[in-house]
Structure formats: structure tokens, C-alpha cells
Amino acid sequence: MSRRTLKVAEAVREVVATTILFGLKDPRVKNVTVLWADAAPDLKSVKVFISVRGEPRHAVLAMHGLESARGFIQHQIAEQLDLRYTPVLQFVLDPGAKLAAETSALLREAMAQTAASAGSDTGDGSLAGEPNGEGLAANPTDPAGSPPTDSETGERVDQQRIAGELGESPVERPADTPDVWAVPSGGTAADRRDDPGGEPSAVPR
């Protein structure tokens, strides 16, 4: 198909679409969409492919109305287009566009149902498999709020038992007692060990 043939076909399609939309008063011709046009190489005939929304009976009525108005539409083409011959129009019902629209509607409906079922599965709208924050227990390894371990409990029981056998009360080491003991001034570590009555003084690390 040459470039001129394509241009004529497009020009005819525009005139036909405009005439159907604004020029025809036939009540049978409604919900009609002009899809495209196919012009013959000699430009003496043009096939106009249309689509009609609605039930099949609406498409039949629209085709009858277009056949009745074909002479009027061809007259509009002769007035608006500068052609050597006025092409004879042939209207063809194209079911492809209607089928594509129905398929798109079915796909949208299926996607909407899938989204609704996914939302109902989670209950509170959260994603499936994602925790919603309810019923979460505290971290058992957290030292701030976890109970003492078995080893700590066993150590405390042993201290109480030993203190009871000696007749003494268990001595707890103060929390602020440093780990390093300083040697008294002028003495050595041996002097500190020999003098049990000495009071060690603590120095910071």
C-alpha cells in the first residue's frame, strides 16, 4: 500500500467518523466507533471497519442504519476531500475490538477478586506471613528484664548453704567495689598479705 493510499484511507476514516457522530440522526446508529479504513489501490472503494458497543442486536441495527446512510456519507466525502473519484464505502463489523474490550474487563475483574481475597486472608489488612505485632514475647536474653539463669541461681544456693554451715551470714560484695586493690604506701604486696589487719585502699583502674 502506497503512502497516498494510506493518507486517503485515513482522511476517509476521519470524515466517516465525524459524519456518524454529528451528521446522522438515525437512532439505530449509536455507540459506533470507526476503527480504521482500507482503501483500494485505485481509490475507488474503501472498507470502513467499525465496532459497536452493546449487545449483538445493537450491532445489527447499526449496520442497517449505516447501509441506509451510505449515500449521505459518501456525499460528505466528496464535499470535504479533493479526490478524482468518490470512493464507494463498504462497512465491515470488526469483532476484534469488542473481544479485546471484553477480555480487558474480565482481567480487571479477576485482578480485583484476587486483591479482595488476599486482603481477607490477612484479616487486619497486613500482608500475609507478616507479623502484626500482637503476642510478641520479650527477648529472653535481655539482661534488663530476663530472670536469672540456672548457673546464677545455683551459685546463690551454694553461697547460702556454705554460710549456714559456718554459722555466718553470707557476705555480698558491694556493687561499687573496684577489682584492683592498691598496695599501701611504702610497702609491697607481700607486706599487705602479711598484715591481715591492714585496710587496702582502692584506686581506679
The residues spanned by each domain of the chain are 3-99
Averaged pLDDT of the chain: 74
Local confidence band at 182 (pLDDT 50, 70, 90 cut-offs): very low
CA distance 34 to 65: 14
**Among candidate residues 58, 84, 76, 59, the one with its CA nearest the CA of residue 20:** 76
- DSSP E strands in 53-172: the ranges are 88-93
Residues 163-173: tens digit of each pLDDT? 566 555 555 55
Predicted model pTM: 0.51
The answer to whether the CB of 8 falls within 8 A of the CB of 38 is no
CA distance 11 to 77: 9
Give helix 70-80 / helix 3-18 axis angle, nearest 10°.
120
pLDDT of the residue at 100: 73
Rounded-to-5 percentages of helix, strand, coil across the chain:
45, 15, 40
- DSSP E strands in the chain: the ranges are 32-39, 45-52, 88-93, 181-182, 201-202
In terms of DSSP bridges, do strands 88-93 and 45-52 run parallel, antiparallel, or are they unpaired? parallel
Q: Does 183 have pLDDT greater than 70?
A: no
**Among candidate residues 153, 162, 13, the one with its CA nearest the CA of residue 73:** 13
Architecture of the domain spanning 3-99: 2-Layer Sandwich (3.30)
Amino acid letter, 205:
R
Q: Does 157 have pLDDT greater than 60?
A: no
* Centroid of chain to Cα 156: 57
Local confidence band at 41 (pLDDT 50, 70, 90 cut-offs): very high
CA distance 106 to 190: 95
Give 190-202 as a DSSP string: HHHHH-TT---EE
- DSSP E strands in 27-172: the ranges are 32-39, 45-52, 88-93
Q: Does 67 have pLDDT greater than 90?
A: yes
The answer to whether the CB of 63 falls within 8 A of the CB of 93 is yes
pLDDT of the residue at 159: 55
